[in-house]
Structure 1
């Protein structure tokens, strides 16, 4: 029996308990080039203040490991945390990237928030827009960007060797799947995206972007395709598309609007930039009244 091929990359996870977000650093052993996936900018809703504690943990790791940041990868325009991409880019460089369908999300939320005329929903706020199936590199390691729409139109998964970072498309098996009722969301598209991910080899490591653990277990963010196919409560083998759509639609109708959706989307469609300062030098986030939720 042949020996397994040694991996060329290593992954380090960072869990933010305030938002349930998991950020990742992936790096190529040979070159020490790295990608950061879904970094967090802390935001206190009561005071309207941002801080960089979560992103600074990632920054300290990059410095300690002497890694060169090549990519900052967003899996989608998150509704539950602000992106720390710009904070990391200012220190380490790297290209901020997201799926090309972010343009659709930007157009929707430019209208909702009545954003300034200078904001163009063309994706130009990002350094790179990935198409489905596009390949890229960190150092000598090739990775692939997969379009996995459903939670939002622009969701992407990123596959490095035998690990896939799935964003909000899949959760841990006991939590199931992401909601599909945001603007542009589609439960049928979500099901097909999940099943596409679950067509990967059984031993593929699945790294999720969020965990909201029940009291019975600690936070977790890694499973395998085999575990997801056997145990995922929403999309395990044997659950068909129609049954999933019925379940997801009924469940989404009971969910509250995420606490940070209004501030986070305004920042995240700008690739982590705060809104431009107004005449008094202060940046403002807008709160559209009676426009979301039930």
Structure 2
């Protein structure tokens, strides 16, 4: 059965490549969190989107900084770009979003997938966030559903719901470029974990196969890279064709049960990300710190379980 959203994305990619109307992408890589932030713009209008930004955070002191985000401000300013969108592919568990800080300086609308509501419910309970924490996605300007079409300047774009890593993961296809968050990594590294609350390896497999049905020539921009063994440089751009042929976890020919068995066994060996506690609590709030307490200070909670 034809997937109408993938069919629409495929038509968009094919048309953009045929006409040469494709976006320009500049990537900023944050070594401490292994995160790639992409600034994508329409060369015809200079409208741009910032995908998966990073706020610097020192867990030992609790201090935040915006050196990484300032690089993006400097680039956008120098290139005379106009920020229309700040896009989050999901509630990240490994870095804090700089979206509100960037929005104050550059404008734009903050968007994420509509299943953020489910994630807010899960983590709102886990961290006992209380009634002041809205769990309706209202911290964001736009909640995308699967197949939502939008524009970046004169470039067409479409949102794809690709759950599995978390329930709310989104990919954004802008022109001929797909920004896929934490679903796939570089072909030599594999795929994202699926053991966070609300994650599911079988669901991730179906989301990945859906992405891999896009045209082979689709440019793919990843959210993370960890340098596969034998590779010395960070990398964050590949193609759908390369992933289908060479992804070590999910290349063509790997069936669902084999993937789920591999992913489940691999996830059982992984430790939690270093910044998972602050990241989730900030990112489920759209990049804002928890509301200050009566002394004017914001606090990150750490749940403690008994032995």
CA distances 1:33-75 after superposition (whole Å, capped 9, x unpaired): 1100000001001111000011111111110111111000000
Select the residue among 278, 284, 291 that pairs with 2:293. 278
Q: Is the 8 A contact 2:50 2:87 kept in 1?
A: yes
Q: Please, what TM-score do these two structures have when normalized by structure 1?
A: 0.96
Q: Please, what TM-score do these two structures have when normalized by structure 2?
A: 0.92
CA distances 1:180-238 after superposition (whole Å, capped 9, x unpaired): 00000011110011011110111111111000013532000011111101100111000
1:116: Cα distance to partner? 2.9
Q: More deviation in 237-246 or 29-38?
A: 29-38
CA RMSD of aligned residues (A): 1.3
Counterpart for residue 173 of structure 1:
187
Q: Is the 8 A contact 1:15 1:23 kept in 2?
A: yes
State how far apart, in whole Å, the 1-side matches of 2:65 and 2:130 are.
Answer: 25
Tell whether 2:29 aligns with 1:15.
Answer: yes
State how far apart, in whole Å, the 2-side matches of 1:197 and 1:10 are.
Answer: 21
Counterpart for residue 275 of structure 2:
260
Select the residue among 164, 167, 180 that pairs with 2:178. 164
Tell whether 2:107 aligns with 1:93.
Answer: yes
Counterpart for residue 222 of structure 2:
208
Counterpart for residue 130 of structure 2:
116
- Go from structure 1 to structure 2 and tell me whether the alpha carbon gap of 1:239 and 1:8 turns closer, same or farther (over 3 Å shift): closer
State how far apart, in whole Å, the 2-side matches of 1:14 and 1:202 are.
Answer: 25
Q: Give ranges in structure 1 of 5+ residues lacking alignment.
A: none
Counterpart for residue 240 of structure 2:
225
1:4: Cα distance to partner? 4.2
Counterpart for residue 182 of structure 1:
196
1:8: Cα distance to partner? 3.6
Tell whether 2:242 aligns with 1:242.
Answer: no
Number of corresponding residues = 290
Q: Give ranges in structure 2 of 5+ residues lacking alignment.
A: 1-16
State how far apart, in whole Å, the 1-side matches of 2:305 and 2:257 are.
Answer: 32
Counterpart for residue 207 of structure 2:
193
Select the residue among 154, 157, 167 that pairs with 1:140. 154
State how far apart, in whole Å, the 2-side matches of 1:290 and 1:190 are.
Answer: 29
